[in-house]
Amino acid sequence: MNELSQVIGRFHLLLVHLPIGILLLAVLFEWMGRRSQRWQALRPAVPVTLLLGALAAVLTCLTGWLLSLRGEYEEGLLVRHQWAGIGVAIGSLSAYWLRSSAWRVAYRYVVLLLFSGILLAGHWGIVMTHGERYWSAGGDGMKAGEGGVAAFRDIPNAKVSQPSWEAAKQLQKMGAAVLPTGREQPFVSVNFVNVEQITPDLLRAIYALRENIAWLNLSGLTLHDSLLMVVSTCENLTRLHLDHTNIVDSSLVYLQNLNRLAFLNLVGTPVTAEGVSVLSRLPSLRQLFLYQTKVIPGDTAFLTARFPHARIEMGGYQVPILPTDTTFLSDKK
């Protein structure tokens, strides 16, 4: 996945709200126009609203597909979210066509399915990015995933002191995003989204927050051993993004003491199966992303044996062909 694709993929987080709002507005206009003579004037706006929503849905699907190639989402939820989104795009285009045709009964059913698809796609998107805890304050983290593999807890089960807000402000001045995470304890997430250079002041700020950092995103950075040594002191770290960095096998030893680490993204790095295997002693590791690394398909059995409680994502997924698809396969002549 090249840099341009990554940039385009990130627009999914912006575009995803457009088809939701536009298509729900179309459904609302249709319902109001049918319910009352007073709102009949809204109905002529439905076709153009459906068309705009359909175009936005198609763009959202394309950017979402590019974003999914980063390999940092749970596969089962990702597939459901993708197909629900594709269904919304197809449903909105179908509704636009049926609206101006004689198939009025079919149009009503499609609109109902479209509304349901929007809700499902939105639900799975939220669960995929925020976890099932998002819907209930009293939740106990994410539940067991497919295949009996337990998913990770978003927030560590530990008591910590208040973070150093001076250190947090220092990180923000250097381009890092520092946000509060969790409800019961003062944990934070740190994302080096705009950090250009690793300085001694930055390392000291991370070290001052080492007890409170639950999520850490170092995607795309040029890493040095000095930074990884500080990361190794973050004892409550549960999520760590090292994708598209220069981390190598020898540097993975710095992660061996992160006993609460449950999510590790190594997509697009030069690590090998042998190097990754040093992390098999991590007791909480539940999701390991190795797409576009030097791990090859032949290493699957080796890694599965070393990480029996973790879901290992290596990419290479294929979209199944459904009986309803207009795709035909034929032998080469």
Write the DSSP symbol of residue 153: P
Are 173 and 292 members of one domain? yes
In a domain, 333, yes or no: no
Are 309 and 173 members of one domain? yes
Are 232 and 298 members of one domain? yes
Contact 72, 243 (CB under 8 A): yes
Per-residue pLDDT, 134: 54
Neighbours of 242 (CB within 10 A): 27
Q: In what order do the strands lie in the sheet with 213-217?
A: 177-181, 187-191, 213-217, 239-241, 263-265, 287-289, 311-313
- Residue 178 pairs in a beta bridge with 190
Write the DSSP symbol of residue 195: -
- Residue 263 pairs in a beta bridge with 239, 287
The single residue listed with the structure tokens 């530990």 is 158
Query: Any residues with CB less than 8 A from the CB of 250 and at least 6 apart, and which?
Result: 275
**Residue among 287, 289, 291 nearest 309 (CA):** 287
Are 169 and 104 members of one domain? no
Are 17 and 101 members of one domain? yes
Per-residue pLDDT, 33: 81
Per-residue pLDDT, 138: 42
In a domain, 169, yes or no: yes
Q: Which positions of the chain have pLDDT values less than 50? A: 1, 137-152, 317-319, 325-329, 333
Contact 276, 251 (CB under 8 A): no
In a domain, 274, yes or no: yes
Tokens of 1: 């996945």
Number of domains making up the chain: 2
Are 112 and 181 members of one domain? no
Using N-to-C axis directions, what is the helix angle for 46-68 and 17-35, rounded to 10°?
Answer: 150
Per-residue pLDDT, 183: 66
Per-residue pLDDT, 141: 38
Convert the pLDDT of each residue in 182-229 to its tens digit: 667 788 889 988 887 888 998 999 999 999 999 999 988 888 899 999
Are 184 and 298 members of one domain? yes
Are 126 and 169 members of one domain? no
Phi then psi for 307, rounded to 5 degrees? -125, 70
Q: Rounded to whole angstroms, how far apart are CA atoms 224 and 24? A: 48
Are 177 and 307 members of one domain? yes
Q: Rounded to whole angstroms, how far apart are CA atoms 169 and 165? A: 6
Convert the pLDDT of each residue in 257-286 to its tens digit: 999 999 999 999 999 999 999 999 899 898
The domain that contains 205 carries what CATH number? Answer: 3.80.10.10
In a domain, 159, yes or no: no
In a domain, 171, yes or no: yes
In a domain, 153, yes or no: no
Are 186 and 279 members of one domain? yes
In angstroms and rounded to an integer, the radius of gyration of the C-alpha atoms of the chain is: 23
In a domain, 332, yes or no: no
Tokens of 44: 């002529």
The pTM for the full model equals 0.57
Owning domain of residue 90: 3-130
Are 108 and 199 members of one domain? no
Contact 50, 114 (CB under 8 A): no
In a domain, 63, yes or no: yes
Are 169 and 101 members of one domain? no
